[in-house]
Amino acid sequence: MYQFSKRKQIVSLLICAPLSALLAQEPTSEETPPIHYETALTRVIQNDPALHGFDIAVDAAEGQVEQAGLRPNPVVGAEMENFFGSGPFRDVQGVDITLGITQLIETAGKRTKRTELARTERALVDWERELRLATVESEVRTAFVEVLVAQEALELRKEQLTLAERSREETARLVEAARSNQVELTRAELAVRQQQFAINQAERALQAARARLAALWGESGGSDYTVAGSVEFDADLPELVQLVALLPRSTYLAQYEGHRRNREAALTLEQARAKPNFEVFGGGRYFNEESGDAAFVVGVEIPWPLFDKNQGNIRTARAQVRAVEYEKAATRRELIVALTDAYQNLVAAHAEAQSVENDLLPTAEQTLDETEEGYERGQFTLLSVLESRSTLFEIRETYLDALSRYASAQAQIEALTRPSTIK
pLDDT at position 222 = 58
Using left for φ > 0, alpha for ψ between -120 and 50, and beta otherwise, residue 310 falls in: left
Higher pLDDT, 348 or 15: 348
Is there a domain that residue 199 lies in? yes
> Mind listing the pLDDT tens digit for each residue in 189-214?
888 898 899 999 999 999 999 999 99
> Mind listing the pLDDT tens digit for each residue in 28-42?
445 678 999 999 999
Is there a domain that residue 16 lies in? no
Is there a domain that residue 140 lies in? yes
pLDDT at position 91 = 62
Domain limits at 71?
35-81+97-417
Is there a domain that residue 7 lies in? no
Is there a domain that residue 116 lies in? yes
Segment 227-239 mean pLDDT: 85
| Cα separation, 198 vs 337, whole angstroms | 38
> Mind listing the pLDDT tens digit for each residue in 58-81?
999 999 999 999 999 999 988 877
Judge whether residue 15 has pLDDT over 70: no
Burial 83-98 (b: 16+ CB within 10 A, else e): eeeeeeeeeeebbebb
pLDDT at position 329 = 97
| Cα separation, 380 vs 174, whole angstroms | 14
Is there a domain that residue 351 lies in? yes
> Mind listing the pLDDT tens digit for each residue in 238-271?
999 999 999 999 999 999 999 999 999 999 999 9
The total of structural domains in the chain comes to: 1
Find the CATH number of the domain harbouring 108: 1.20.1600.10
Higher pLDDT, 287 or 303: 303
CB count in 10 Å sphere of residue 259: 19
User: Across the chain, what does the average pLDDT equal?
Assistant: 85
Which residues have C-beta within 8 Å of that of residue 89, sequence separation ≥ 6? Answer: 82, 83
Q: Which of 239, 243, 271, 288 is nearest to 83 (CA)?
A: 288
Judge whether residue 7 has pLDDT over 50: no
pTM: 0.78
pLDDT at position 168 = 82
